[in-house]
Amino acid sequence: MGLELLTSPLQNWSVMALAALLLYSFWTVDYYHRTSSNLFFELHKAEDVIHKLRNPEPPPLNRSHINIMQSIARMAETGIHPSLLLFSTGSGMSQLQVEVIIEQLAAMGFVHTQKTESPTRQSTPQLTLKGKEYVLNFRSKNAKDAKQADNTKIS
């Protein structure tokens, strides 16, 4: 009985139905493949835009901005109470220059200042999370550069 089915001629409508089913399945696979690849591309572009909006490039900082931020970080690590006088003596800048730089860093979101409860009511600068991340990235970049320089000297 099974051999008769294999040797018997197929009806024309069944051949056409089988061909239509194959064409439809190939078309469906191709359609979903194209739409999914386009969706992936569009989704990737949207993720890039969102990432750039949430994580904008840090503004270019000059050397004095970076020095002040590193000084704030070192003082926080060692437990020294930061003051404008310490920054000005350590950096070789006047107190007014240090104040301006700290205000600029505060406007950029790298530093926030708090008024102390001392009689002088001085403001003490502290790094924000953004400032801490910048200092850590700067330190790791410098460490990598130093390591590469050592490797090139050895080679």
Alpha carbon 67 to chain centroid, angstroms:
23
User: Do 71 and 103 sit in the same domain of this protein?
Assistant: yes
Give me the number of domains the chain comprises: 2
85/120 Cα distance (integer angstroms): 13
User: Is there a domain that residue 4 lies in?
Assistant: no
Domain hosting 142: range is 63-154
39 & 18 share domain: yes
24 confidence band (pLDDT: 50, 70, 90): very high
Least confident range from 3-12, 24-33, 101-110: namely: 3-12
Q: Percent of the chain having pLDDT more than 70?
A: 85
Q: Please indicate, yes or no, if residue 1 is contained in any of the structural domains.
A: no
Same domain assignment for residues 38 and 93: no
Give residue-wise pLDDT tens across range 67-114: 999 989 998 888 887 777 787 877 788 888 988 999 999 988 899 987
Same domain, 138 and 74: yes
The verdict on 48 and 70 lying in the same domain is no
